[in-house]
Structure 1
Amino acid sequence: MTDDREASGDGRERPDSAADRRGRRAGSTPAGDGDKGRATAVRDGRPAKASLPSRVVRFLREVVAELRKVIWPTRNQLITYTIVVLVFVSFMVALVALLDLVFAQGVTYLFGT
């Protein structure tokens, strides 16, 4: 029986953490693509701001990239989730209304009107 940390048959070590599995190491960027992930350029040790249009374009590009990662619910899932939310909200409204009524009666009993 082999230990999980021993080298596998192909000569590579098994990653110890999720970061290792993604290939992240100290000093590297998440995607390992050099300076591509940096928000601003650096000149003379000071960060230089990118122009507003380039920042807006980059933001929109990143929004589209994130929306492509979303797993959208099917119609049946959407209907089910909507019903669950409506039932839960109805229950909470009824609970708060009941507690309000009980506390109002208690205050009336204690202090009178």
Structure 2
Amino acid sequence: MTPLRFYREVVAELRKVIYPGRTELITYVVVVLVFVSVMTAIVASLDFGLTKLVLQIFG
């Protein structure tokens, strides 16, 4: 495959992409931020709880 053919195929595939509009993009960003915040809170609380438990058992 020549570099020129590769470039043409990449451009052809990029033309097929449907990019989200402004409102969709904002919605996606908010969903991701909320999800990451919730997962961070869960992991942090598990870490805190397990740390307290280990310190009570071994500490």
TM-score, reference length from structure 2: 0.93
Deviation at residue 57 of structure 1 after TM alignment: 1.0
Structure 1 distance, partners of 2:5, 2:56, is: 63
Q: By percentage of residues, which structure has more strand?
A: 1
- Which residue matches 1:28? none
More helix by share: 2
Superposition deviation, residue 78 in structure 1: 0.3
Query: Deviations along 1:38-76, whole A, 9 cap, x unmatched?
Result: x5xxxxxxxxxxxxxxx2111111111111111110100
Matched position secondary structure for 2:26: helix
Shift in Å, 1:107: 0.5
Provide the aligned C-alpha RMSD in A.
0.9
1:61 counterpart residue number: 8
Aligned twin of 2:55: 108
Segments of 4+ moved more than 4 angstroms: none
In the alignment of these two chains, the number of paired residues is 59
| Matched residue, 2:43 | 96
Q: Give me the TM-score of the superposition, normalised by structure 1.
A: 0.50
SS of residue in 2 equivalent to 1:105: helix
Give the equivalent residue in structure 1 for 2:32.
85
